Amino acid sequence: MVKKVLKFGGTSVGSIKRIQHVANIIKKEHDEGNQIIAVVSAMSGKTSELINLSKHISDKFDNREMDVLLSSGEQVTCALLAGALINLKLKAKSWLNWQIPIITEGEHSNARIIYMNVEKINNHLKQNGVAIIPGFQGISKQGDVTTIGRGGSDATAVAIAKIFDTHSCEIYTDVDGVYSTDPNKIPVAKKIDKISYDEMLELSSLGAKVMQSSAVQTAMMYNIPLEVKSTFTERDGTKILNQENIDYTKSVTGVAYSKDDAKITLIGVQDKPGVAANTFEPLNKAQINVDMVIQNVSSDQKTTDITFTIKRDDLLKTYDILKKNKKINYKNINHNEKVSKISIVGAGMVSTPGVTYKMFKALSEEKINILAISTSEIKLSVIIDEEKTLNAVKKLHTVFELD
């Protein structure tokens, strides 16, 4: 008997018809003798709808109450899916975060799971039952409802796979696997049969929307096999595995991009020890994620220009913090919010010379100017003008033979 976690995203449960379809998928797995724990997201659009409702109350809606509000979306899906399974004559039951319980720690809207009681659900599974659990949420040690951040249902599913020691964790979505780039924008993108945790982690953190990066990281830490597959087709999905099981004949596995970045440059910063720490410390305290950082020292070695990228939504907040920062002196500050980040990812890059040159040459041929560069062993990212995004992705996809 195999114990599985099946996670269904918002598009998979976006209507009553789709919830009934998901119930049939679960029934098929159950009929094959598997023990099933289903993790569900809110119905597609529901979380955004709830956020909009909060904005009608206040632009600064209380964080605790926001978690209570947003967690209601998964509760609805849990009840509807359990009801659909009961209608199919299965012994199904839904559990809310506090009924299990799923204990979390951390701030509201950004909590993490630290403990989950397995006894009740394991007993239910042993009695031939199906368990339905809400993703994205938990409860703090103080008894407050918490959420795990946008896309947190993936993190819940992987945490359950670890804590319940399941054989696998299958992520059902509206695409039939992980693609070499966004298939909605680049029709010649192809599905990847197998991908390493490291590559998937890079792709998900760089803008690929298939899986949440923290969920991939947890799976990698505990070597939990993942598979991304479509709710709406029966094709094989993409298996996410450790590196020993991956074929590295290609240097680049995929091309990712994000169009929600902004670039800030501090010009003429006084160059002295601690200037970078003093610049970024208040941003860290404000929980603003800084991505690429470039520092250029002037010829007289007295001043420096510091360029860095952040998420576009944090631009005004960052500007305000920098202007109030009395620990740094600079001549001017400018920004560009019309930029995007383009990245190539591949574990094969480590052993393949010339990848950097090949990428830069390809962008040059398209007359695309590079504004910033960031590298790691299996990733190369550049910041470019946003209007050139699709041109860059198409060119790189072709140059690295991913079409």
- Please, are residues 44 and 209 in contact by the beta-carbon 8 Å criterion? no
β 3-8/129-134 pair status: unpaired
- Please, are residues 361 and 390 in contact by the beta-carbon 8 Å criterion? no
Could you state, in order of their start, the residue ranges of all structural domains in the chain? 3-174, 255-399
**Identical fold between 3-174 and 255-399:** no
pLDDT of residue 296: 78
* H/E run at residue 242: none
Task: Show the beta-strand stretches assigned E in 346-401.
Answer: 372-376, 379-385
Q: Which three-class secondary structure state does DSSP give residue 92?
A: strand
- Please, are residues 325 and 284 in contact by the beta-carbon 8 Å criterion? no
| Nearest of 100, 132, 141 to residue 117 by alpha carbon | 100
β 379-385/129-134 pair status: unpaired
- Please, are residues 74 and 102 in contact by the beta-carbon 8 Å criterion? no
- Please, are residues 157 and 170 in contact by the beta-carbon 8 Å criterion? no
Measured from the Cβ of residue 110, the count of other Cβ atoms closer than 10 Å reads 15
Domain 3-174, CATH 3.40.1160.10 — does that match? yes
Domain 255-399, CATH 3.30.2130.10 — does that match? yes
Give the span between the Cα atoms of 369 and 354, in whole angstroms. 19
Q: For 88-151, where are the alpha helices, taking DSSP H only?
A: 119-126
- Please, are residues 258 and 206 in contact by the beta-carbon 8 Å criterion? yes
> Please, what are the averages of pLDDT over each run of 10 residues along the chain (403 residues)?
94 97 97 97 95 94 95 97 98 96 92 94 97 96 90 90 95 90 87 90 75 86 92 92 71 89 91 88 91 77 88 92 91 92 88 89 95 87 94 95 89
| Nearest of 314, 319, 312 to residue 334 by alpha carbon | 319
pTM over 0.85: no
Give the span between the Cα atoms of 383 and 373, in whole angstroms. 7
**Cα end-to-end span (Å), the chain:** 40
Two structure tokens written together for 54: 């909060």
Burial grade of 369 (CB within 10 A; 0-12, 13-18, 19 or more): exposed
Measured from the Cβ of residue 135, the count of other Cβ atoms closer than 10 Å reads 31
Give the span between the Cα atoms of 22 and 38, in whole angstroms. 10
Query: What's CA 45's distance to the chain center, in Å?
Result: 17
